[in-house]
């Protein structure tokens, strides 16, 4: 029984085409700016997002940290979601390395902070206050997988602009958002001063993310990346897979969304599963087991693993919440197998006499 790994789209293996491209990639010393494959990836990413320049970094976390450090000074404040990846899951790096203080806001809906609350959180020009420098939003939102719309992003960008702030988008899964909304990433990120997107999630590359922004911003980000030890020399080996991720894998994400919906529908039909189908908008499914379910979420996850070789993650920090994420290596047959397994675990066949 092959393993079905739904813990995250970060578990994706590179495709055979990626492995071939990596083996044959022309490379050079990227710290000297001489790696042609890295240079191509950066230029292509910038063009696709309608920004002036790009920078290849090791991970999404590094892209976010590099962007925050490039936008801010020690003692500054950034406005971010209380459940954002930057605030929750990046080891407090903005505070640790940048001395940057988060001002967190709740999500009113689908990973969106309220526009009035954002305005209200901006500090006055007063020596008692830290300086608000940056707003960061996340698309898709990690809490639900929901895409943030062009309109919402424009509204946040306008608030930033009107107040002399910068806007960063943690676009780890921005291509999922673009696919779900049927818009280009360029349109979706217009008005943002920086965007980090990941090549190594649903796009299947083994390593890497790219930051895009203005030439001046990327120049500063380049310096920050060096200071973080992120000058990677012959990184074209990695960027070669990134080019396939960017140009080809980004075009098929709707398949993962279709699979997620089918999986969600199958799970939601089980009597002890609490799953809001309205919330399933891209490749992520969140659900809970009802109090009348025969087991806890942890026990469910464990039995799916040991009895059916299916990995579904109890979501960290949210007791009882389970997350399943579809990706390139999850095919429609796998989805059916997961639904059948969940049914068998949650609804054991009645014992006959």
**Interface residue list for ligand TLP (CB under 6 A):** 8, 10, 59-61, 85, 89, 138, 142, 170, 172, 198, 200, 209
Distance set, CA 46 to CA 81, 115, 140, 242, 327 (Å)? 26, 28, 19, 13, 25
The C-alpha atoms of residue 316 and residue 323 are separated, in whole angstroms, by 10
Q: At 110, give phi and psi (nearest 5°).
A: 45, 40
Cβ distance to ligand TLP smaller for residue 111 or 236: 111
Cβ distance to ligand TLP smaller for residue 172 or 237: 172
Cβ distance to ligand TLP smaller for residue 209 or 326: 209
Q: Min. distance of Cβ 247 from ligand TLP in angstroms? A: 20
Cβ distance to ligand TLP smaller for residue 132 or 209: 209
Q: Min. distance of Cβ 192 from ligand TLP in angstroms? A: 15
The one-character DSSP state at 252 is: S
Cβ distance to ligand TLP smaller for residue 81 or 266: 81
Q: Min. distance of Cβ 162 from ligand TLP in angstroms? A: 26
The C-alpha atoms of residue 246 and residue 319 are separated, in whole angstroms, by 35
Q: Min. distance of Cβ 165 from ligand TLP in angstroms? A: 20
Residue nearest to ligand TLP (CB): 60
Q: Min. distance of Cβ 219 from ligand TLP in angstroms? A: 23
- How many Å from the N-terminal Cα to the C-terminal Cα in the chain? 31
Cβ distance to ligand TLP smaller for residue 22 or 172: 172
Helix (H) / strand (E) containing 322: strand 322-325
Edge-to-edge strands, sheet with 101-105: 53-57, 209-213, 194-198, 166-171, 132-138, 77-81, 101-105
Q: Min. distance of Cβ 142 from ligand TLP in angstroms? A: 4
Coil, strand, or helix at residue 76?
Answer: coil
């Amino acid at each position: 029984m092959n393993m079905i790994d739904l813990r995250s789209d970060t578990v994706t293996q590179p495709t055979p085409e990626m492995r071939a491209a990596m083996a044959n990639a022309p490379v050079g010393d990227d710290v000297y700016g001489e790696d042609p494959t890295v240079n191509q990836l950066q230029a292509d990413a910038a063009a696709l997002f309608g920004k002036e320049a790009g920078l290849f970094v090791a991970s999404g976390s590094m892209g976010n940290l590099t962007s925050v450090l490039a936008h801010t000074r020690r003692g500054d404040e950034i406005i971010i979601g209380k459940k954002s990846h930057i605030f929750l899951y990046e080891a407090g790096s903005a505070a640790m390395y940048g001395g940057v203080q988060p001002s967190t806001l709740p999500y009113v809906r689908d990973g969106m902070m309220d526009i009035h609350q954002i305005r209200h959180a901006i500090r006055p020009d007063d020596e008692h206050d830290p300086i608000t420098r940056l707003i960061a939003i996340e698309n898709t939102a990690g809490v639900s997988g929901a895409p943030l719309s062009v309109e919402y992003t424009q509204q946040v960008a306008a608030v930033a602009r009107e107040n002399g702030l910068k806007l960063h988008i943690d676009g780890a899964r921005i291509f999922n958002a673009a696919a779900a909304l049927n818009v280009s990433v360029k349109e979706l990120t217009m008005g943002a001063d920086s965007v980090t997107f990941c090549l190594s999630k649903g796009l299947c590359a083994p390593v890497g993310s790219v930051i895009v922004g203005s030439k001046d911003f990327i120049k500063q980000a380049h310096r920050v990346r060096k200071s973080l030890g992120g000058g990677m020399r012959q990184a074209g080996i990695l960027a070669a897979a990134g080019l396939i991720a960017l140009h080809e894998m980004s075009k098929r994400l709707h398949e993962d969304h279709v699979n997620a919906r089918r999986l969600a529908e199958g799970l939601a039909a089980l009597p002890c599963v609490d799953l809001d189908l309205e919330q399933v908008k891209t490749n992520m499914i969140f659900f809970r087991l009802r109090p009348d379910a025969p087991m806890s979420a942890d026990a469910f996850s464990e039995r799916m693993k040991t009895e059916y070789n299916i990995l579904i993650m109890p979501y960290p920090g949210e007791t009882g919440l389970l997350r399943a994420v579809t990706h390139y290596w999850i095919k429609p047959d796998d989805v059916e197998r997961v639904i059948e397994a969940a049914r068998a675990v949650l609804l054991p066949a009645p014992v006959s006499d």
